[in-house]
């Protein structure tokens, strides 16, 4: 059974259905008549069938190998296990994070660690330490009080009548039961005193960590002070008009001399001014007390109660001259006349600008 290449390709074409027309007719005629040719075609057909079958099997194995049933369609149990594992990991992570957060928050509580344990006494029973926020609110009030470094006024008894802030300060600065803690706080206070006073105005900080909670105690050493009395003097006020209504305080010549002597004893610094004090033997004279005050807010003005004048922001070395006209007190300072009205509050110095009045006062 010999088969040349042309026959082989013709059989291939026939089996693939690619023979048409005359070629197909000739092939079919040969197939009918030639038995040997029939055998050749049959064998070739069978071999091709086996080749196709083998290739089909090969491709199916390739697909199975590449896809894999589990990869394409994961079993539900597998998915459930994956989800369960993911949820467990998430829960553990959340627990760890929350635990860290809670412990950090607890450590940052300033009252829990920083505040000293107040000894229970009869007065302090039921007392709850004010939170730092209240202290902050008190510090803000600077109109009448000022916050300064407690260098010259450390007396608690004086501070307690100031305001709630000092009360809180005293509570905070009470000695701790633990002597070691007392030493730490004391060293911090000493260190704080040596620093610039401006640093003490730093606002209190709330919710600081443990090490900074001691700073709260250090800040509690802030001393609050009011207006400061610098000096006081006595002056003789001359009533310009004869009808000046100071009968009750009218002094005779002898009383006037006594008043002048007292003035000299009280204020040695003002000795240079005695020559400037008007000792006029006019019809009406009276003694008046002058206090020199330094305001914490550098206020410049006066407070006049009738027989005492508080001067704020006026240099005590400057020459003053008081006159009274029509029940009104006038102050001459640096060549200018100022009107002092009776008041219970603080007033600014009001300059006299009326020329007629100025002429009378300056005469």
Partner 1 sequence: MFGIGKLADHIIIERIKQGDEKMLVYLYKEHHTMVKNFILKNNGDDSAVDDILQDTVIAVWKNANKSEFLLQAKLSTYVMAIGKNLWFKELKKRTKFKLVDEDNHLGQGSEEMNLDMDQNIIRQLVKDMDKTCSQLLAYFYFDGLSTKVIAEKLGYANADTVKSKKYQCFKKLQGTVLATYNKEELL
Q: Choose between 3 and 231: whose C-beta lies nearer to partner 1.
A: 3
Q: Choose between 2 and 252: whose C-beta lies nearer to partner 1.
A: 2
Residue 14 CB partners (closer than 8 Å, separation 6+):
24, 27, 41
Tokens standing for residue 128: 């709850």
Instruction: Write out the H or E segment, with its range, that includes residue 172.
Output: helix 164-172
Instruction: Write out the H or E segment, with its range, that includes residue 10.
Output: helix 5-15
Query: CB of 84: closest distance to partner 1 in angstroms?
Result: 25
Query: CB of 38: closest distance to partner 1 in angstroms?
Result: 9
Residues 23-82 that bind partner 1 (CB under 8 A): 39, 42-44, 46-56, 58-60, 62-64, 66-67, 69, 72-73
By CB under 8 A, tell whether 347 contacts partner 1. no
Q: How far apart, in whole angstroms, are the C-alpha atoms of residue 327 and residue 342? A: 10
Query: CB of 85: closest distance to partner 1 in angstroms?
Result: 25
Q: Choose between 75 and 230: whose C-beta lies nearer to partner 1.
A: 75
Residues 80-119 that bind partner 1 (CB under 8 A): none
Query: CB of 22: closest distance to partner 1 in angstroms?
Result: 21
Q: How far apart, in whole angstroms, are the C-alpha atoms of residue 222 and residue 133? A: 16
Total number of residues that touch partner 1 (CB under 8 A): 31
Query: CB of 9: closest distance to partner 1 in angstroms?
Result: 7
Q: Choose between 71 and 122: whose C-beta lies nearer to partner 1.
A: 71
Query: CB of 83: closest distance to partner 1 in angstroms?
Result: 21
Q: Choose between 31 and 279: whose C-beta lies nearer to partner 1.
A: 31
Q: Choose between 64 and 105: whose C-beta lies nearer to partner 1.
A: 64
Q: Choose between 54 and 177: whose C-beta lies nearer to partner 1.
A: 54
Q: How far apart, in whole angstroms, are the C-alpha atoms of residue 309 and residue 289? A: 6
Sequence-separated contacts (24+) of 192-196 with Cβ below 8 Å: 192/149, 192/218, 192/221, 193/149, 193/150, 193/151, 193/221, 195/149
Neighbours of 347 (CB within 10 A): 16
Strand partners, 237: 286
| Helix%, strand%, coil% for the chain, nearest 5 | 50, 15, 35
Q: Is 326 left (phi over 0), alpha (psi -120 to 50) or beta?
A: left
Chain positions contacting partner 1, by CB under 8 A: 1, 3, 5, 8-9, 39, 42-44, 46-56, 58-60, 62-64, 66-67, 69, 72-73
């Amino acid at each position: 059974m010999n088969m040349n290449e042309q026959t082989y390709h013709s059989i291939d074409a026939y089996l693939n259905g690619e023979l048409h027309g005359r070629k197909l007719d000739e092939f079919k005629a040969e197939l009918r008549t030639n038995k040997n040719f029939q055998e050749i075609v049959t064998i070739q057909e069978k071999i091709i069938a086996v080749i196709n079958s083998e290739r089909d099997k090969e491709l199916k194995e390739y697909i199975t190998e590449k896809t894999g049933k589990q990869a394409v369609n994961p079993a539900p149990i597998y998915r459930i296990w994956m989800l369960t594992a993911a949820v467990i990991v998430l829960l553990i992570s959340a627990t760890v994070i929350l635990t860290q957060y809670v412990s950090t928050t607890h450590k940052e509580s300033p009252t829990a660690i920083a505040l000293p344990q107040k000894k229970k006494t009869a007065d302090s029973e039921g007392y709850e330490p004010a939170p730092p926020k209240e202290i902050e609110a008190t510090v803000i009030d600077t109109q009448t009080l000022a916050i300064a470094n407690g260098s010259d006024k450390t007396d608690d008894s004086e501070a307690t009548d100031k305001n709630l802030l000092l009360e809180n300060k005293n509570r905070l600065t009470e000695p701790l039961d633990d002597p070691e803690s007392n030493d730490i706080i004391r060293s911090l206070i000493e260190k704080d005193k040596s620093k610039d006073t401006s640093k003490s105005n730093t606002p209190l900080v709330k919710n600081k960590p443990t090490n900074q909670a001691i700073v709260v105690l250090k800040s509690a050493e802030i001393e609050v002070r009011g207006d400061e009395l610098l000096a006081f003097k006595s002056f003789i006020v001359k009533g310009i008009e004869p009808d000046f209504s100071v009968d009750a305080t009218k002094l005779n010549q002898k009383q006037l001399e006594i008043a002048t002597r007292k003035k000299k004893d009280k204020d040695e610094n003002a000795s240079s001014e005695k020559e400037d004090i008007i000792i006029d033997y006019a019809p009406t004279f009276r003694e008046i007390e002058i206090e020199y005050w330094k305001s914490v807010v550098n206020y410049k003005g006066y407070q006049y109660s009738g027989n005492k004048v508080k001067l704020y922001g006026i240099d005590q070395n400057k020459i003053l001259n008081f006159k009274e006209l029509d029940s009104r007190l006038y102050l001459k300072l640096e060549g200018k006349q100022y009107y002092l009205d009776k008041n219970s509050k603080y007033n600014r110095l009001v300059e006299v600008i009326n020329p007629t009045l100025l002429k009378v006062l300056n005469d």
